Amino acid sequence: MHFDPSPTSNHSYYKRLERVLGQAEAGSTRLLDVHGDIAPDQIERLARACLTKQEDVRLVVESWIRAGCDLEEVYLQGLCKASRLMGDWWNSDTVDFASMTIACYRLHQLMFDLSPTFLANASIKANGLSALLAATTGSHHTMGVLMLSEFFRREGWSVTREVPETHKDLLRLVETEWFDLVGLSVNYDQTVDEVRGMIGQIRQACPNQRLQVMIGGLIPGDRQTFTREVGADLLGTDARESQLMALELVTGKAAHVPKRQQRAS
Ligand code: B12
């Protein structure tokens, strides 16, 4: 991956960027492909907009919503796939680190802007359950936790979203506030020992003896084995399914997951 904090000094960088931005006319294709998924060139359209300006990002997503795209699919397919496509461009040095970071910020901003609509019925659904959803210390991968929080809130959970600077910050929260569930977004470079230690401390600090701990995100290696070894109660997948699984775990009631929603993250 290319790390150039000052792309202005790099003429060829702009040439490459121009090539990416110049591809395919905006909105020239159908929104959905034959499988009913958001079409790849629409994903590219969003990714390119993220590299230009916030207004363009908004316009792309608005066009999808106007064309009848479900907001959850906008998040789970549109935003996730666009961020991964940008990651591919970053990997191939088509975009640099600074542009990538700003582009990710624009996706964050989009979620904040869409939040009032996304959470429109959340208060009616209030379920009395509370979740602490946290990125792990030192992780810059925060988009997953933000999206996860939105899906939990949408279904009536009270959510505390945290990007802690130290483990102590997380433990202080767990000690002082009541949570039914702690969801930890694992970072790619964390070891079993680290995560197991953290989960053990969380359980010790938490006054709720029935606290459930869920993990998800960029789990290294075999996800099932990792989950077992760190002592988590549940392994999540995408944000929508994870919420359903968490609800079932905490309430002990089976949640129905329609087939269309069983999408791997
Ligand atoms: C965007 C991105 C970044 C951005 C993050 C911006 C941000 N604010 O989040 C930036 C540019 C900062 C970044 C940095 C790095 N990145 Co990066 N990044 C990505 C990328 C392209 C997309 C990730 C993303 O945000 N997706 C969108 C979100 C919404 O989706 P998600 O994370 O999958 O989350 C969903 C689910 O997993 C679930 N979920 C998420 N968390 C949780 C938690 C729980 C409890 C549950 C239940 C569910 C859940 O809900 C979400 C919605 O469904 C991925 C590529 C990929 N294929 O994932 C690489 C990737 C994750 N990055 C990677 C790497 C290596 C790095 C760097 C080390 C690069 C470097 N050389 O510096 C640094 C790490 C810095 C750090 N200290 O953390 C690797 C990780 C490799 C691995 N798994 O072992 C990946 C996979 C790229 C690759 N193929 O190499 N990255």
How many Å lie between the centroid of ligand 1 and the Cα of residue 141? 5
> Could you identify the residue written with the tokens 């810059």?
140
**Which residue ranges form the domains of the chain, and what is each CATH number?**
7-118 (1.10.1240), 130-261 (3.40.50.280)
Alpha helices per DSSP H over 119-230: 143-154, 167-176, 192-205, 223-230
> Rounded to whole angstroms, how far apart are CA atoms 142 and 134?
9
Our mutation pick for probing the ligand 1 site, out of 92, 104, 141, counting the most ligand atoms within 8 A of Cβ, is: 141
pLDDT 10s digits, 179-210: 999 999 998 888 999 999 999 999 999 999 99
Closest by CA to 151, choosing from 170, 125, 179, is 125
For ligand 1, the distance from its centroid to the CA atom of residue 91, given in whole angstroms, is: 13
pTM score: 0.89
Q: What is the pLDDT of residues 89-136, one digit of tens each?
A: 999 999 999 999 999 999 999 999 999 999 998 989 999 999 999 998
Three-class DSSP category at 32? strand
Pair 99, 17: CB distance under 8 Å: yes
- Please say whether the beta carbons of 159 and 153 come within 8 A: yes
Our answer on whether the CB atom of 220 is closer than 6 Å to any ligand 1 atom is yes
For the CA of 141, the nearest atom of ligand 1 = 9
Nearest CA, atom 48, ligand 1: 216
CA gap 220, 141 in Å, rounded: 14
Q: What's the confidence (pLDDT) of residue 215?
A: 97
Specify whether the backbone of 22 is left (phi greater than 0), alpha (psi in -120 to 50) or beta.
alpha
Provide the pLDDT for residue 149: 98
Residue 50 contacts residue 106 (beta carbons within 8 Å): yes
Q: Quick check: CB of 77 below 6 Å from ligand 1?
A: no
Q: Is 178 left (phi over 0), alpha (psi -120 to 50) or beta?
A: beta
CB 78 less than 6 A from any atom of ligand 1 = no
Instruction: Give the residue from 11, 5, 15 showing the smallest Cα distance to 94.
Output: 15
Strand positions, DSSP E, the chain:
130-135, 158-162, 181-186, 212-217, 234-235
Q: Which atom of ligand 1 is nearest to the CA of 138?
A: 77
- pLDDT in the model for residue 172: 96
